């Protein structure tokens, strides 16, 4: 039942998957889900054949009449056969013209035409009808999984605002030349490597460096593709073509990757190629050999047995049950916000025992929030209102975090004479008092006395002084994701023996986060090559099947090195998403355990389908060869088992993996 051109696409990158599906939809396997009338066109031939078959059976067996005989009866069943039989005959002819004789199409045509030749008209129609219905079920199951996968793909627009003839025009980054000027608005990703022409701006560099703290880049400094502009509209001079960037090289490598199938699926397909010609010649032998050895040889009787044998032996139940099992798993994962780029990764997830993860954007939100407020000699609310008055005058991400924290204050203070002291913080007047807000260096600069312990705090701290008197501080930190601790617990429950965190952030912060969520081992202050080294050390133990989870461009080498690379897709960099084997679109670390559960459930379903297909087929093959099975049993052994396998595969998508 598997169309030779109906490939199950699981390429290693999302854009190729979309392209291939588009090509496929333009070919034989049309996308029936696009329009309602397309669905009816797809089902209409089977409906016509079913109605005509039922009418013929009723006239043949339940109504006494004299007209439904001879050529009228044959013609009726031929007309019932053609809507579902003609497409298969066409496929068989095309396969034979390419030298592929031993296909399911050829077996089906031979068996059903043979049934007509010996007068078994209803059985001939029924075999082809149920075969067509099986195709429809298969198509529905595959298209459902495809639509779920398509819905997950975050295809971000790639453009650059290029200065041309005195105005900025949106163009493809590939068309921009070195030396040209581009504009990047607030909230946009930098499309190309460049040199800052504007005075300065703040950038989120987490995708590149793994650091949670935004970085201020000033005029003349380098800005890299993939950074997110957080501050104001800026202009850059392009210093590298798009194709020369590390991001482009990674994307090119991934786009040329081949599709990946599970080992079980590959073995079954190889088996089917050998199995099909063997059973065909056995069917021929079933007609010929008894002529020489059997008493009272009746050709039509042994031909019927051979035709039953052919229908039973058709490998579609075997070939379909495996890919659809994996496609059911991929579809189930997509419903939970997880995109698998190959069925082999579903298999690998069942054996994962070591999970290595990045910190920023993976276990933490990757955004600044006020975590702690401490006041001395002043009410906490008054200190916050005083601080917020200054910070509202700044566009720095830390200032925005404080402003966001106090946005619901009904009576905010107002600040005047606010000035930024580069590298230190802000100075201004609030309620006719001089206020300082910034790092500890700012207070030292103005001779303000404060507790030296503040300098040892590893998180980002904003200290406040009023009239040169220290009054407190606000702690700003990256928030740990709500389900991070639960994610680690579920991983351990599902067979993960070791969890490791690797981060480019400060080691003290990394250890604090690891301890808070229950991670076994953590390493901070790592460059991308340091992460690679740590994973290579883990891989030295061949008993470990390693998953790495990350979201930044700096994570791409480790994603490629691990057995299964998982990217956080909502906030993650394009490079991480393209390089990864699995994408968690919801950015929830608890989905790692969900992916493991889905992989294990899929494997169970696949082996159930293999056992069912082999078991029933062997039993009915023996019965058919002995003359104890008719075409109806053959239909069940082939199409019936395939339908059961399909329904079993679809069952995965309705399972609860929470």
Which residues participate in catalysis according to the annotation?
Answer: 358
CA atoms within 13 A on the CB side of 408: 1
Rounded (5°) CA angle 654-657-658:
125
Beta bridge partners of 426: 420, 437
- Cα 320 to Cα 3, 313, 360: the distances in Å are 10, 14, 42
d(CA 514, CA 498): 13
Angle between helices 316-335 and 641-651 (to 10 degrees): 10
Q: DSSP string covering 505-549, please? A: S-HHHHHHHHHHHT-SEEE-S--HHHHHHHHHHHHTSTT--EEEE
Pairing status of strand 498-502 against strand 521-523:
parallel
> Taking Cα atoms as reference points, which of 153, 554, 581, 545 lies closest to residue 567?
581
d(CA 580, CA 557): 10
> Taking Cα atoms as reference points, which of 534, 581, 533, 575 lies closest to residue 555?
575
Q: Which residues 6+ apart lie within 8 Å of 140 measured at CB?
A: none
Distance of CA 343 to the CA centre of its chain: 11
d(CA 271, CA 37): 39
Determine contact, residues 594/336, Cβ cutoff 8 Å. yes
Q: Which residues 6+ apart lie within 8 Å of 241 measured at CB?
A: 174, 176, 177, 178, 192
Enter the tokens of residue 68.
């439904």
d(CA 204, CA 553): 13
Please list, residue by residue across 132-147, b when 16 or more beta carbons sit within 10 angstroms of its beta carbon and e when fewer do. Answer: bbbbbbbbbbbbbbbe
d(CA 592, CA 572): 15
Q: Which residues 6+ apart lie within 8 Å of 513 measured at CB?
A: 359, 363, 364, 480, 501, 519, 522
């Amino acid at each position: 039942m598997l169309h030779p051109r109906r490939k199950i696409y699981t390429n290693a990158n999302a854009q190729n998957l979309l392209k291939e599906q588009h090509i496929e939809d333009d070919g034989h396997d049309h996308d029936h889900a696009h329009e309602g009338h397309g669905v009816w066109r797809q089902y209409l031939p089977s409906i016509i054949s079913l109605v005509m078959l039922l009418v013929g059976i009723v006239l043949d067996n339940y109504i006494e009449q004299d007209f439904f005989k001879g050529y009228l009866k044959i013609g009726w069943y031929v007309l019932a056969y053609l809507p579902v039989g003609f497409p298969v005959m066409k496929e068989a002819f095309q396969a034979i013209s390419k030298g592929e004789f031993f296909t399911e199409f050829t077996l089906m045509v031979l068996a059903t035409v043979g049934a007509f030749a010996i007068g078994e008209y209803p059985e001939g129609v029924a075999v082809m009808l149920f075969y067509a219905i099986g195709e429809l079920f298969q198509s529905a199951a595959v298209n459902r999984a495809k639509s779920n996968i398509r819905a997950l793909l975050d295809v971000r627009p790639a453009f650059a605002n290029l200065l041309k003839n005195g105005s900025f025009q949106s163009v493809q980054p590939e068309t921009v030349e070195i030396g040209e000027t581009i504009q990047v608005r607030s909230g946009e990703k930098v499309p190309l490597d460049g040199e800052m022409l504007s005075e300065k701006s703040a950038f989120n560099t987490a995708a590149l460096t793994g650091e949670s703290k935004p970085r201020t880049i000033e005029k003349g400094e380098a800005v890299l593709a993939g950074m997110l502009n957080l501050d104001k509209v800026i202009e850059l001079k392009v210093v590298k073509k798009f194709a020369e960037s590390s991001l482009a090289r990674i994307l090119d490598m991934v786009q040329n990757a081949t599709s990946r199938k599970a080992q079980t699926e590959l073995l079954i397909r190889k088996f089917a190629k050998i199995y099909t010609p063997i059973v065909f010649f056995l069917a021929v032998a079933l007609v010929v050999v008894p002529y020489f050895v059997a008493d009272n040889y009746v050709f039509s009787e042994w031909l019927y047995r051979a035709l039953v044998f052919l229908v039973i032996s058709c490998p579609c139940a075997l070939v379909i049950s495996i890919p659809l099992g994996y496609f059911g798993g991929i579809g189930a994962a997509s419903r939970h916000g997880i995109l698998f780029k190959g069925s082999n990764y579903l298999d690998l997830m069942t054996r994962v025992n070591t999970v290595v993860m990045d910190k920023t954007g993976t276990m933490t939100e990757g955004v600044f929030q006020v975590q702690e407020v401490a006041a001395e000699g002043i009410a906490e609310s008054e200190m916050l209102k005083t601080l917020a008055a200054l910070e509202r005058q700044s566009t720095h991400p830390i200032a925005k975090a404080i402003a966001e924290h106090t946005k619901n204050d009904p009576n905010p203070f107002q600040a005047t004479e606010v000035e930024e002291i580069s590298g230190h913080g802000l100075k201004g007047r609030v309620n006719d008092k001089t206020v300082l807000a910034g790092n500890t260096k700012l207070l030292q600069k103005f001779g303000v006395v404060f507790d030296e312990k503040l300098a040892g705090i590893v998180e980002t701290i904003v200290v406040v002084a009023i009239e040169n008197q220290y009054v407190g501080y606000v702690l700003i930190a990256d928030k740990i994701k709500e389900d991070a601790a639960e994610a680690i617990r579920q991983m351990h429950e599902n067979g993960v023996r070791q969890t490791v965190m690797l981060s480019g952030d400060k080691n003290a912060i990394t250890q604090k986060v690891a301890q808070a969520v229950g991670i076994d081992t953590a390493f901070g202050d790592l460059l991308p090559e340091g992460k690679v080294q740590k994973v290579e050390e883990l891989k030295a133990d061949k008993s470990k099947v390693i998953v790495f989870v990350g979201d930044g461009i700096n994570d791409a080498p480790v994603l490629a090195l691990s057995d299964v690379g998982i990217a956080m897709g909502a906030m993650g960099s394009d490079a991480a998403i393209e390089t990864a084997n699995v994408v968690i679109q919801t950015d929830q670390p608890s989905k790692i355990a969900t992916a493991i559960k889905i992989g294990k459930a899929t494997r169970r379903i696949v082996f159930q389908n293999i056992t069912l297909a082999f078991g029933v087929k062997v039993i009915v093959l023996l019965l058919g060869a002995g003359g104890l099975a008719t075409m109806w049993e053959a239909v069940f052994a082939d199409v019936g088992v395939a339908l059961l396998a399909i329904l079993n595969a679809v069952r995965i998508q309705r399972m609860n993996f929470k």
